[in-house]
Amino acid sequence: MDASITTLKELSSQSDCYNIRVKVTRIWESVNKHNGATMHTNILPLDQQGNNIVAIIRNNQKNQFLQMLEENVVYTISNLKVVQGPKLCRTADVNYVLNFFYRMKINKEVDTRVIPLYSFELQDYEAVAELVENVKVFIELWPAGTPVEWSPKMDIVLNNISTRPI
């Protein structure tokens, strides 16, 4: 791997001078369930080692950055703003998130197929119930027998019906 490229696992909030090469695997909006307003846009980048992290585009920077990104495309991103991530509910099991910052540079790269399409852990469907309240990372459930073809995206609402707050 290029010496000037930092892996997602090596990121820390000690510096904003990183260069990463990632594939954007997911893009979605976080919506306020009470008023329907978009709070921000989330991106899930994945690096060559199969590590992922959440990147956040604030609404005031959406016009600047969102049209530059698409799912399943590889980018080199520099001048990252690395900040502490949420403690409880996470989309990626890392302590940091990336904030899109006005100095951030995004360059589309040729996909040489060294970055995986996805990073995930397979779990038995029967074990999912045991993971409730024991996992701090959001999990994505795929029904058994899902075809390999790309499936249409759906909106999913998560409700906490347990006795513990999220």
> Distance between CA atoms of 65 and 12, rounded to whole angstroms?
22
CATH topology of domain 8-108: OB fold (Dihydrolipoamide Acetyltransferase, E2P) (2.40.50)
pLDDT band at 22 (very low <50, low <70, confident <90, very high): very high
Where do the domains of the chain lie?
8-108
Write out the two tokens for 53. Answer: 């992290």
**Which pLDDT tens digit goes with each residue over 86-140?**
776 666 777 888 999 888 999 999 988 888 877 766 566 676 667 666 655 555 5
Q: Which of 3, 9, 7, 2 shows the shortest CA–CA distance to 92?
A: 9
What number of CA atoms fall less than 13 Å from residue 88's CA on the CB side?
4
Between CA 96 and CA 55 the distance in angstroms is 9
* Dihedral sign (CA 138, 22, 80, 103): negative
Residue with the two structure tokens 């921000």 = 40
Task: List, for residues 24-42, the tens digit of each pLDDT value.
Answer: 998 989 888 889 899 999 9
The pLDDT of 56-63, averaged and rounded, is: 94
The closest alpha carbon to 98, from 55, 41, 39, belongs to 55
